[in-house]
Chain A
Amino acid sequence: MRTGIFVAKGKRAPGVLVIGAGIAGIKAALELAEFGVRVYLCDHKPYIGGTLSQLDRWFPDNHCGMCKVLPVFDRDRSSQYCLRQGLIHPDIEILPLTEVEKVEGEAGDFRVTLSTKSSWVKPELCTGCGLCAQVCPVEVDSEFNQGLEKQKAIHSRHPLALPRTYTIDQEHCTQCGACVDACPTGAIDLASTDEIRDVAAGAIILATGFEEFDPLSASQYGYKRYPNVITSIELERLLSKSGPSGGKLVRPSDGQVPRSVAFLQCVGSRDLKRNYCSSACCMYALKEAMMIKEAEPETNVAVFFMDLRAFGKGYHRYYEQARRELGVQFTRARIPVVKQDFKTEDLLLTTVAEDGKTITSRFDLVVLSVGQTPSPRFREISEVLGLTTNQWGFGNTEALSPVVTSREGIFACGSAAGPKDIADTLVEAEAAAGKAVALVKPAKQRSVETEPEEDEEPKIAVFVCNCQGQIADAVDTKGLLEFSKGLAGVVHAEEAGHLCQPEVWSAIPDSLKKSGANRLVVAACSALRPGILSLDVPVELVNIREELAWVHQGNSQAAAEKGKSQIAMAVEKLGRPGKRPSRSEEITTRAVIVGGGLGGLVAALSLAEYGLEVELVEKSAKLGGNLTHIHSLLEGGDPQGYLHHLVEKVNAEPLIHVWIETELVECQGYAGNFQCTLRDGDSAQHDIEAGAIIIAAGGVESRPAEYLYGQAEPVITQRELDERLAGGALNAQDLKCVVMIQCVGSRDEERPYCSRVCCSQALKNALALKRQNPDIDIVVFYRDLMSYGFKEEYYTQAREAGVLFVRYEVDRKPTVTLDGEMLKVQAADLVLGGDIIVEPDLVVLSPAIVPNGSGGLAHIFGIELTEDGFFKEAESKFRPVDTLKEGIFVCGLAHSPRGVSETIAQAQAAAQQTAWLLSRARLAPSRLISQVNERRCSGCELCIAACPYDARFKDSEKGVVVVRPALCQGCGACVVACPNAAASLTELEDRQIFSMMDVVL
């Protein structure tokens, strides 16, 4: 029997090393850990979170949503709190300050030597009390707040981070030893040395991210010379509520609110030294501009840019919102130099307007939108791993094999392989994790059947930590202890000096056993939140440090009273525990993929690699979708050869059943158990059971309605040009002049989105024509040239080859007329004035990409579409391939317009998500879920409407609502919706809330 990726039980699969603990590394690590793979997540910095931890909100919706990357199924074992507080998962070992020294062996069996720099602070002993920082005499610039405020050489980088370990800035530390004496737990050892250790890794994921470009090396901007010139990341900190100014935007020189702010784009991108586009800066500048406008509506915000590259899903709408609704001004100009008025410290920017006049404008604040550069250590790491870097120093991957590096078993994701935004980074992180899972073959998921808990009488133990004075100085912990002893249900109470210290903490289970307690109240600090995950008994954490002792100083009586009531409330809560749910659901380990194009094929093969059965449903008679029409790629590679190979592999794979000329017409059920109905070409119906569904229904090139398309023969589309060139139907030697028109039906009122691939197509075809016949005149009429990432180089090459790029405005589009046999294209010349008239042999249009029958599928699956008709994802950045319905995933053009390489990565990500769901034989519920009291349920179904996870359905025979425990996330929306109090949460029932309130009222 074929076991797919899973090795026999008992044999531990090798781990995976993830280098870089930014969001890409975190996501990849979580994906792997959910498969039961041991993950080593290392970073050379002392903290995790990367660049993302310094940002508060993200485009294109201006929200935070980091917590959405956390697992939805393994909630009992992993951290269920804000990711800024940290990441806890039993299968992820986080290794801060750690670098890779040596890699030996081969894919599936790497031996990696890791070197961990001593942080001088022992994390297991540090309680995060901060006494060391009080005595530290050395002040340094705060790295987290970008030098906008000072901190001590020993400090906590982010006050929320768990574990709450302090770090020492070893560069500036004078080793005076004051902190060593001040530390109550002896956690600081200035003489401790670096550690070397070897780990076995089956695969390595490179997720080192990027560094912001340092504008000091571009002196024309006056960065650090003029106080009011700041970088975009500094602005993020200034706008942040946890930043140095508490979220109030002030300019550095005088602390005044700036009344005019200018953003300068492409600082450190798209220049001679770094001829690539950093892909994310236009969008984050828009976001920051909008945040300024929200905070200070009177402030004028201007963005100086070359091309506004809002090419992602929903990005163009976002741009329009900034421009139209918030009045952000956009000026097309690259500012050569920033000058300062030395009297006022205002900044002067000189631009040449389109009418040729020179205008100097005055700004209170100038923000440099700094680009992404490879981290300075990236070259070293690459050398250690035996990888090559590209000409800009980023990792090398091929267009047709994204995330795969030149060395087998090593995968690169996120900005390590080229600048990108968070959404694309997470897609690659999922794809890279998928590749690693396929390589290490983790053991089949452990048995997840949960034992029903016995209804035993609650016996509660209370542990009160005095934190060696940190708590006891502000609150009488002795009093809390005495009070706790007197509470009903408490069988044991004890005080500890430092509950978090390893030897104290590890003694708790024994203590519980001795006293016979089966519930635990821990009155200590939030630093114990990771620790309580490892205990088997129900635990309630009362935070008497961060939420009591540290915030009610100087009122110890009130604090003591509050502390008592908090402990009493916790005891009340635990004294009435709900029963742990035990029902788990069998799931069907088969996936249905709708669409046999590139996305569907790649997803199907990836799933087969995991050993999962796939039903691949294709509407047309042939596999391949849009890829059958693509004969070349901008970055090189042979798409037809690739497609041929894919189709062959799919046809030869016994786990994949291909249905051609078949449509999916009906789908019932929920994650793990869908019932789909297929209808084939003979109208015969087939019922298929599936655990998950991937929508890869693709998109189509729209048929242009303008520029004489369909009326004049020499007016064709880019795809037709590609096909004719490849098929020999068109010879470049026969052409004298070609006109290309971009944004045909995209980025207008009807379709306010960018089709993303057309600029690359135009560049590809223009370069191909020029290669075949350098004498052809090619004129490209464009609006913003979307040559993001490394595509910028091809834009430069095209210009060097003599391709003319002429910009047009959407309200002054070029006109195409037919004068007898002669085509005539006329457009306004925005630079010199007047009109440009071209008489080409061929007019090539770049039509919009539109979704392919998404409406019907959305109806069948009951999921939402975006305003533009593409499938809506659960969260645009952090859950990029999940739809809002659990168990249904989306990839490729059905998700949004995207190129071949991006579709492959996304299909792999969707397959990874699907495999993650299907690789468990059962879906077991978490401890905290909702339940139904059938005696009270009237079957009104209000809760079904309130549930955002599709976790409730009505049992029509019984007339009551039933919970699908595995899908329930325990949010409690149903509890409130229920008019009869039939719905309740297992660990927080109404009566528990009431009795908690009765303690204080």
Chain B
Amino acid sequence: MADKDEYQEKKADAPVKKDGSEFEPTMIGFFCNWCTATAADLAGTTRLQYPANIHPIRVMCSGTVDPVYVLRAWLSGADGVIVGGCPPGDCHYISGNLKARRRMHVLKTILKTLGLEDDRIWVRWISAAEGRKFAETMREFTRAIKDKGPSPVKDYWSI
């Protein structure tokens, strides 16, 4: 299990760089047009601060986020991926977020059984009124990924 050891080792030494500066992760966020993207706007108008590490991509519905997008982001070197959608039951397209929930659950389960870190992928339901929750989630996610350190995947596989 040499591979696995190497993987564990990479995980352990990451958070603080040699020069003492904090590791700045690069993350991708897929946010649904109706709820989470509106919450992002609300966070802005109420001037709630959060780190700039997450690069948002607005999609019409969280149900359009293909697990392939998440995997691709991850394999391309994203340290984390977050999918934000309407709270279950609120989807503008009736059931898109429920589909997203299942898909992401399956994806995370598969990653876990392969011994990969499923906690670099977050799925959160943030409604249009929850600007505060949006900013808090962005802060928490960035903090969590900073604590985990750089994704080992980008160095681990040559892709």
Contact = CB atoms under 8 A, between A and B. Distances in A.
Partners in one complex: yes
B95 interface: yes
B15 to A, nearest CB: 18
B47 A84 contact: no
B120 interface: no
A934 interface: no
Contacts of B86: 64
Contacts of A164: 45
Interface residues of B, number: 59
B25 to A, nearest CB: 11
B123 interface: no
A240 B131 CA distance: 11
B24 A973 contact: no
B122 to A, nearest CB: 17
Interface in A872-922: 874, 884
A575 to B, nearest CB: 15
A20 B57 CA distance: 37
Given A80-B33, A547-B56, A241 B132 contact: yes
Contact of A159 (B92, B103, B131): B131
A862 to B, nearest CB: 15
A242 B73 contact: no
Contacts of A545: 44
A976 B66 contact: yes
Contacts of B92: 67-68, 971
Contacts of A81: 33-34, 37-38
B73 A997 contact: yes
Contacts of A82: 34-35, 38, 128
A990 B41 contact: no
A1001 B52 contact: no
Interface stretch (A2-10, A96-104, A560-568): A560-568
Interface stretch (A27-35, A422-430, A485-493, A550-558): A550-558
Given A61-B89, A993-B69, A551 B44 contact: yes
Contacts of B132: 241-242, 246-247
A56 B130 CA distance: 10
A563 to B, nearest CB: 9
A976 B63 contact: yes
Given A63-B90, A159-B46, A994 B72 contact: yes
Nearest to B38: A82
A167 interface: no
B76 A552 contact: no
Contacts of B50: 551-552
A154 to B, nearest CB: 15
A1001 B89 contact: no
B87 A63 contact: yes
A160 interface: yes
B45 A159 contact: yes
Given A948-B94, A1000-B28, A128 B45 contact: yes
Interface string B41-70: 111111111111101110111011111110
Contacts of B130: 241-242, 247
A63 B133 CA distance: 17
A261 B77 CA distance: 51
B57 A558 contact: no
Contacts of B87: 63-64
A988 B59 contact: yes
A526 B45 CA distance: 10
B24 A997 contact: no
A548 B73 CA distance: 22
Q: Which of A68, A555, A998 counts the most chain B CB atoms within 10 A?
A: A68
Contacts of B49: 551-554
A65 B91 CA distance: 8
A484 to B, nearest CB: 17
B99 interface: yes
B64 A543 contact: no
Contacts of B69: 990, 993-994, 997
Contact of A85 (B38, B43, B57, B127): B38
Contacts of B60: 928, 970-972, 985, 988
A156 B47 CA distance: 14
B156 interface: no
B78 A1001 contact: yes
A569 interface: yes
A946 interface: yes
Interface residues of A, number: 64
A633 interface: no
Given A62-B89, A972-B61, A997 B28 contact: yes
B116 interface: no
A972 B89 contact: no
Contact of B127 (A241, A546, A554, A976): A241
Nearest to B61: A971
Contacts of A601: none
B28 A948 contact: no
A997 B78 contact: yes
A150 to B, nearest CB: 15
Interface string A59-76: 001111101100000000
B63 A971 contact: yes
A119 interface: no
A874 B93 CA distance: 11
Contact of B135 (A56, A84, A543, A551): A551
Given A84-B38, A972-B61, A160 B24 contact: no
Contact of A56 (B44, B47, B129, B131): B129
Nearest to B95: A948
B26 interface: yes
B41 A546 contact: yes
A996 interface: yes
Nearest to A61: B89
Q: Which of B73, B90, B130 counts the most chain A CB atoms within 10 A?
A: B90
Contact of A84 (B44, B53, B103, B128): B128
Contact of A1001 (B26, B43, B45, B46): B26
A969 B44 contact: no
B129 A242 contact: yes
Nearest to B74: A1001
A996 B48 CA distance: 26
B63 A973 contact: yes
A156 B128 CA distance: 17
A38 B88 CA distance: 36
A348 to B, nearest CB: 34
A559 interface: yes
Nearest to A566: B55
Contact of B93 (A526, A569, A969, A985): A969
A54 to B, nearest CB: 10
A282 to B, nearest CB: 22
B96 interface: yes
B40 interface: yes
Contact of B48 (A63, A551, A973, A1001): A551
Given A81-B34, A552-B51, A971 B64 contact: yes
A301 to B, nearest CB: 22
Contacts of B47: 550-551, 553
Contacts of B129: 56, 64, 84, 240-242
Contacts of A62: 89
A41 interface: no
- Which are the 6 A-B pairs with shortest beta-carbon distances? A546-B44, A972-B64, A971-B93, A159-B45, A558-B52, A1001-B76
15 contacts: A64-B90, A64-B127, A67-B92, A82-B38, A241-B130, A546-B43, A551-B135, A969-B93, A973-B95, A975-B66, A976-B103, A997-B73, A997-B78, A1000-B78, A1001-B77
Given A562-B55, A1000-B55, 7 more contacts: A164-B45, A242-B42, A971-B96, A973-B95, A976-B99, A994-B72, A1001-B73
Interface of A: 56, 61-65, 67-68, 80-82, 84-85, 128, 156, 159-160, 164, 240-242, 246-247, 526, 543, 545-548, 550-555, 558-559, 561-562, 565-566, 569, 874, 884, 928, 946, 948, 969-973, 975-976, 985, 988, 990, 993-994, 996-998, 1000-1001
